[in-house]
Structure formats: C-alpha cells, structure tokens
A and B are shown apart, each in its own frame.
Chain A
Amino acid sequence: MSERLVIDPITRIEGHLRIEAQMKDGAIEAAYSSGTMVRGIEVILRGRDPRDAWAFAQRICGVCTLVHAIASVRAVEDALKIRIPPNAELIRNLMIGAQTIHDHVMHFYHLHALDWVDVVSALKADPKATAALAQSLSSHAKSSPGYFAEVQAKLKKQVDSGQLGLFRNGYWGHPAYKLPPEANLMAVAHYLEALAWQRDVVALHTILGGKNPHPNFVVGGVPIAISIWPDHPGRGKGPHYRGGQGGTALDVTGLQRIQSVIQSMREFVDQAYVPDTLAIAGFYKDWFRQGEGLGNFMTFGDLPAKGMGDPSGFFFPRGAILNRDLSKVHEIDLNAEDQVQEYIAHSWYDYAGGKQQGLHPYQGETKLNYSGPKPPFQQLPVEQAYSWMKSPRWKGQAMEVGPLARVLMLYATGHAPTKELVGATLKKLDIPVQALFSTLGRTAARTLETKLLVDAMQGWYDQLVANIKGGDVDTFNETLWEPSSWPKSAKGVGFMEAPRGGLAHWIVIENEKIANYQCVVPSTWNAGPRDPDGKPGAYEAALAGHAIHDPKQPLEVLRTIHSFDPCIACAVHLTDEEGEGFEVKVVPDYQ
C-alpha cells in the first residue's frame, strides 16, 4: 500500500520544518523536506552599511547565535582585505568554540534525547541502581541515590498532576525505546542539569559579546576592549589605576570567569555528555546501520591560528569527501563560480534564466514566488516546488555538512587526537568504522568534536593571557574602518564551521553600500529539496528506507532528522522582490 506520511511541525529543532514521506509497505520510499517560513533577510541587507551587516545576518538564527555574525564580518574583511589582530582571532575562536560546545550539549539533551529516552519509563527506575549506573560511567559529582530519587519525585509530581506540559503527547511506551528505566532516569536528570549548565557557561559570550543570545561583533576585530594594565602602578582613581578593573567586562575578573567557564564546559562534557552518548548509543546499535544517505561530505574549515587566509592553520580542515572514500580529500574553492551553486527547481523562487539553472552566490539572483497550495493544505505537490529552501550543490553534487563531515575530515587528514578518540569510541561500542555513516554516527560525531573543542579552548585562553601579559592588548584594526578608505567596488566571502556545518556569506560592495548579499547555510545543504536532476538533499536521502512502526508516532523519522540538528530559520533566506539587478537603497539616518 502506498500512502503519504506528513510530519509538520517537526519539533525540537530550530525553525519550521515539514517532512513528507511516500510510504510503501511500512517503509519510506521517498522523503521530501520542506522549509515553510521565509523572511527575506538578504534583500533587507541590500543598500546598507557593510559594517552593519553582521547584526542583521546574525538574526537569521538565535540558536547558533553567533555564526552568521562571524561569517558576515569575515565576508566584509575578505572583501576589503582587513586583517584582524591576533587577540581578536583568539577571542573569536573562544566564542565560536563556546557556541559549538553549548549548542551541541543543548541539542543532545534538550532536542535529541527524547528520541531515545522514555521519560515516563524513568518513573520505574530504582534510584540506587541508577546511582550505580551513573557511577560506573563517570566521576560526575551528582550521582547519589538521593539525587536521583529527588529527580524522580519531581518527575512523578509532574506526571501525577495530569499537566505534562512539554512532555504531553510524547511517544512514551513506543517499542523503539530500548533504554532500561535507570538509564532513562539518569538521562532525565542530566536533561535538567544541562539546562542549568548552559545558562552558566553562556557567561563567556556575555563577557566578550555583551549578551547572549546575539552577542556583538565588529568588522576589523572584536568590540570588547581589554581592560587590564598588567604593568601599571596602582595609584590614582578610575579603572586605569585600579589595574583596569571594571573598565570593560574583560578585566581580571572577566578573565577568571572565562577560565571557570572553560573548566565547567570540560567537566560536563567529560563527565556527562561523552559517557551519556556512549551509554545510550550502546542500546541502539541498529541505528549505526542506517540514516546516512549521500556519502558526500564537505567542510569549509575554521578556527584559524594564522588568519582566515591560511587554511594550514585551521583547527577544522577544509575539503570534500565523495562516496565515503576517506582516502581522498578534494580541494574546494568558495570563489570558483563552477563549484558552489544554488538551484531552485523545487523551491518557491524564480530565476530569470529559468528554474533549471544553477547560480554561484556572487550572481545570486532570486525572486519569491510561492506556488504551493493555498493554506490550509494537507499535502505538498512534491513533483513541483515544495520548499523555501534552495538546493545548493558542490560541482553538481549534493553534500552533507556538519559534525560528521568535520570528524571524517579530521580523521581522513590524520588528526591524531581525532583518530585516537574515534578509535576508542568504535572499540568501546564494538562497531566498525563504516558505522559512522549513520544516524548515530552523526550523533556520536557531534559528541566527539565537542570533546575535541573543550580541550582546544584552554589553548586559546592561555595564548590570550600570554599576549596580554606581554603587553599586546590590540583587539581592533581601525585602518579601514572609514568607508571613504574603501575601493569603489569589492567582493568577498566569509566562511566558518557553524555547529551544523560549513557556512558562507558572499558580499558585493559598491560605493560603500551592500549591493548583493548571499548566505549559503549548513541546513540548506542538509535540508534542501531535490535539484533539477531529481537528486535529493541530505535529509531526504538519509530517510529513504526507514521502516516506520506507527505512522502516528513517527519516532524513526525524528531520530534521523534530529541527528542533523536542523536549523531551518538559517536554511531559508533568499528573497528579492525586485528580481534581478542591484537597487541600492540608502537607509535613513536619525533626524
């Protein structure tokens, strides 16, 4: 029997995602991924001051809240050939690292965990046995029987009240849940702990960026000035004479707090996130055999040691892997107009050159054209346009980006700590390296790269402190700040490795204003619809073949989709009501 499965909204993600699947004999024959919300941020950016772009672009997403700001300032810096001071690079690295660690932990516990953890089953757990389980996994401090009994009591109260709130209508009791009650209770406890942890570690962003979500950045460096004068005698009044205390948030106290955040990140990742991932994965080994569909992976590279112009200093390397062949890493070039291209054959946009064309982002020409059914609707016509996302391709290939791509790239390029970590993980779970190409492979890769990042954070911090000690307090390069110092026209690309994968912004500057601005975003690579050749995107390919136990409770779909950590506000971006051509608009000043 053939029928259509529709899941909308897909919850526990960022944004508005709809999955439709053509079912045959209880399994997915073909899946279709649709982004159902558009705002048009790139057209809003046109005509504005390029130095302001980061703030607009940042609002593409409040979950991976700094990534678009970073890509944006880097795009402008690339276009205008601005080099940022070493301290600014370290501070950005610390903020990017903190973002990814924060994001991955929240994804695991608050978005993904409920696909594997049956909250209601935790009520049946024996707190003593739960404590024994937790203590066998790590030295995490909160692992006493009393602690787990208290969490269980809290949960029981919630269930007894009849007001289940966020847990209402969950798929509790579904046979695909395999964890024993004790593992479920431990995971629920860590769900709550992670909520408190994430609230505290966000202080790193607040010190360096003033707030979170949406910390501040600046083209040419970072806005946070270093308010420390290690060599000053302490006389007189004011922050200058107090050794710099309190001039800005980055004083001695601020540094200490950043150090303690790094410590806390490392502890939680080592003692909860890594062992929990391994423990849960051990019960779901069948999910190491399905859920990866394309076999093509790509990274842009990030976390520079020698500036963005020198990929040899990147912590995350750059490259492409095709057909799961880890022996060959292909070079990529974001400026080459025949490499990255976006297609709209199945998207609600028009191109002047027709629906079949692919365009490099510098040419990025688009026009909104909603041709879907009039709401309210039941089903999308998937043979036509069905998404607000486009279909980006690299040399015509659909590519997966994200943690799995990064871990594979580190592995393929011989990064020793990664090889060791991956090797130990595979051994512990008793699975072959091919198991990485799967739903849980993706989830495990996210955990493993978090572990790599928490270890790297300390190095950036130590280097920053050493620089300050040595008298280097530069955080901003002002030489090209004034637009009058810019060339008449310029273009550039800013890229980074966002939590969900490779991200790039392309900017064209004419007469001190933005003439064109284009973002190609990780979740567009992963969640985009079919291209003109009918080749599916990464989500669509990954879902094919999934057996669905109960279409009313599509837990299997959620497991694989959540393993990508969708961010759909990011993925949907382009609009241009005027169609082609640059219309430079001048934004009114305050007057």
Chain B
Amino acid sequence: MAFDEPTIAEILRRQGISRRGFLKFCATTASLMALPPSMVPAIAAALEKARRPSVIWLSFQECTGCTESLTRSHTPSIEGLILEQISLDYHHTLQAASGEAAEAAREAAMRENHGKYLLVVDGSIPMGNAGYSTIAGVSNLDMLKETAAGAAAVIAVGSCAAYGGLPAALPNPTGAVPVSAIIKDKPVMNVPGCPPIPVVITGVLAHFLTFAALPELDDHGRPKVFYGESIHDRCYRRPFYDQGKFAETFDDEGARKGWCLFKLGCKGPVTYNACATTKWNQGVSFPIQSGHGCIGCSEPGFWDMGPLYKPLSMPIAPVQMMVGAAAAGGAIAGAAMAMRNRAAKKSAQAAHQKVTVEDLEKAK
C-alpha cells in the first residue's frame, strides 16, 4: 500500500501544476539551498519518487517557540508541509491523540520507518535529575536515546536543543545539555536561533527530503547555507556604520532614520544567521529593522555573553579588527570590512548562481 502513494510530482500535477511549474519549484528549492544548477535534476528526480518521509518531533526543556516558528513558514507552508511533504507522526503541540495513543503513534512510526525517519528535537535535556523533565513517565534522556536509535538523522531545532540555550544559561540549574552532547553515533544538525527563522526550519527539512542527507555544516554544526554570514555584513544599516552614524537611544533622530544600533548593544557583528537577508515572517522585518539590536540568539552561549545593551568591546577573532577600529570611529575598519565582505560576497555568489527554467529544461 505504501508504494502506491502519490509522489510530490503527482500531487503537484493533480493540483494543476505543470511540469514547467514543478521544475520552477525545484529551481527555487535549489537556489534557497545554494546548490549549483547541476543538482536541480537530482532534486526533481528525488521529489518525483518520494514517499512522505516520517518525521518524529520531540519536545524537551522548551517553550514551544520553535514549533510556533515552524507554523509561520510560508515556503513551504505548514499546511503544505504536513499534508503533502512529510508525515509528522509525533508532535505534542499539534497531534490529535494524547497519552497512550500518542506514544503508540511514536512507537509505530519508529517501527515502520526504522532507519529512515527524521528525528527533530527542540529543547535541552536536563542531566541534573531524570525527574526534571519527563514525558509519559520517561526521562528526556531515555526518550531521546530510544527515538534516536532508529533515526536516519537528528535535527536539533532552536538554541536550546542545539547548544543548551536558556536552560543552560548560568548557573544552569537543571544541568541542561544539547542534543549533540548525548547523540554521538548519528548525524546531528544544529538549527539554532531563539527561535530559528521559520523558512530556515522548513528549508533544512526540504534539504533532507530531497537528498536524504544533511547539508554542509559549519564548526558549530549549523548548515552553512543559512548561517554562513554575519548579520552585520548583510544589514541594511551597514552603510551608516561605515559612516560612523549611530542611534544613541531608541527614538532619537538617528533611530528614526535607521542608523546603526552598535552603540545600543547590537550583537550583529558576532552573530551568524540569515535574519538580515531572508528576514522574518515573509520578509516583513527583522529585529534591527524594528529598532532593537540583534541579541545574538543563534550563537552558542549567547545568554551569558554580556548584557544586551552593552556595546561590543573586544569581540571574537574574525571581526575583532573591524569592531575594535570602529569603536574608535576609524575609516580603516570600514575598508577592512569592505574587503572581507567582498571576499564573502564572491563566494556567496558562486554558491548562489541563478538557475532559470530554460536551463532546467536543457538539463533534462
């Protein structure tokens, strides 16, 4: 029965979407994931064959902000995702069944899709005492180990699952640890952020759906495609920084004109995330555009990296030169950063080559 299920391509066709439209969807997906044009036929092939992969979502020490963020994704939409692209077989906040019936759904999905399902985790795991967090009377640690055993890969969504997040902030009262501290024998990808950007969560799911593998990760286990550049480098207020124009308070002339928030404690220079480029909630805005400095929520240990409103003083290695000099108000820093930016942009452009539908049809 399972093999008679409609593939994504069939679903799109039934909805009146043409082959051309389908390829366009694949091209958009490829460009979102910064893949070269040569990969597009592979994406198309994978999507045409796919059975909806099983996804099990476990929630530990969390606030449900990551789930809320998931529901805000517009490409793909949450309703498209759960009805047509994945089979979300266990998810506390959204599933119909409770109690025993809910646990039975998780166990059945693990059994039926052994070795193939994707495990998504939000929230940290308390190691101080097994009783600090339980589901169905089972400790988070045991449930994570049991569910990860048959998973193809694990995605740690949100800064708590990725790095320990808020529960692990000093003095870490419950001994909270991230997923990667426990799961060592499976690929674990971190998708940090408090919460992560909606389309970043669905973007990495789409990548797994397409390739049955995780995308390229950086040193912190994050997908490079979304976390490769600093907020500062991509910020629309960057020209003001280069000119030495800063908002001094939240509603002064500079704040209203969109000047740089560096002096109000913005952590954009040391934060790697896609907020300044993809923005939030369908590109409406992002924290800096709405007048508040970046709080650095996708960086490990950001809660303990200093008061929110204290300007960066001696930041970490790669940006040290630029911020140090900028604090002195120098133009040299701007030039140094511009060079660094140009290098970064070049590599980004190489990764983001445009793919047209015509190219695809040729490739096919």
Contact = CB atoms under 8 A, between A and B. Distances in A.
B101 interface: yes
A588 to B, nearest CB: 7
B312 A375 contact: no
Nearest to B72: A199
Contacts of A248: 255-256, 258, 289-291
Contacts of A39: 61, 166-167, 173-174, 176
B310 A221 contact: no
A221 B95 contact: no
Interface stretch (B213-221, B277-285, B343-351, B356-364): B277-285
Interface string A489-515: 000000000000000000000000000
Given A157-B6, A161-B6, A585 B174 contact: no
B88 A9 contact: no
Contacts of B312: 590
B66 A62 contact: yes
A207 interface: yes
Given A161-B5, A166-B88, A376-B138, A59 B96 contact: no
A243 to B, nearest CB: 12
A250 B250 CA distance: 13
A553 B101 contact: yes
Interface in B304-353: 304-310, 312-316
Contact of A375 (B137, B297, B309): B137
B102 A9 contact: yes
Interface residues of A, number: 122
Contact of B78 (A13, A195, A203, A474): A195
B173 to A, nearest CB: 3
B52 A163 contact: yes
Interface residues of B, number: 114
Interface in B266-291: 270, 275, 280-282, 284-291
A221 B306 CA distance: 22
A169 B91 CA distance: 13
Contact of A210 (B54, B166, B253, B289): B289
Contact of B104 (A15, A40, A169, A220): A169
B96 A192 contact: no
Contact of A12 (B62, B95, B282): B95
Interface string A511-555: 000000000000000000000000000000000000000001110
A478 B249 contact: yes
A79 interface: no
A178 interface: no
A49 B308 contact: yes
Contacts of B171: 43-44, 577, 585
Interface in A229-252: 229, 238-240, 244, 246-250
B133 interface: yes
A88 to B, nearest CB: 9
A419 to B, nearest CB: 34
A270 interface: no
Interface string B114-139: 00000000000010011111111111
B250 A475 contact: yes
B87 interface: yes
B64 A569 contact: yes
Nearest to B122: A62
A589 B306 contact: yes
Interface in B45-91: 51-52, 54, 59-69, 71-74, 77-79, 82-83, 86-89, 91
A44 to B, nearest CB: 5
Q: Which of A49, A206, A481, A576 has the most chain B CB within a 10 Å cutoff?
A: A206
B77 A195 contact: yes
Interface in A245-276: 246-250, 254, 257
A587 interface: yes
Given A14-B93, A56-B166, A51 B105 contact: no
B155 interface: no
Contact of B68 (A162, A213, A376, A377): A213
A363 interface: no
Nearest to B165: A59
Given A168-B96, A370-B129, A590-B314, A474 B251 contact: yes
B290 A207 contact: yes
A589 B137 contact: no
Given A6-B99, A244-B256, A577 B290 contact: no
A246 B62 CA distance: 35
A147 interface: no
A163 to B, nearest CB: 4
Contact of A170 (B97, B134, B253): B97
Given A44-B170, A554-B99, A196 B77 contact: yes
Given A39-B167, A590-B314, A375 B61 contact: no
Interface in B27-53: 51-52
B285 A375 contact: no
Contacts of B52: 161, 163, 165
B172 to A, nearest CB: 8
Contact of A216 (B129, B135, B290): B290
A165 B291 contact: no
Contacts of A473: 251, 256
Given A206-B281, A215-B290, 12 more contacts: A16-B59, A43-B173, A63-B68, A111-B93, A164-B87, A171-B101, A202-B281, A210-B288, A221-B251, A368-B173, A569-B63, A590-B306
A-B interface, 6 closest residue pairs, ranked by CB to CB distance from nearest = A62-B65, A40-B173, A170-B96, A210-B290, A210-B287, A247-B258
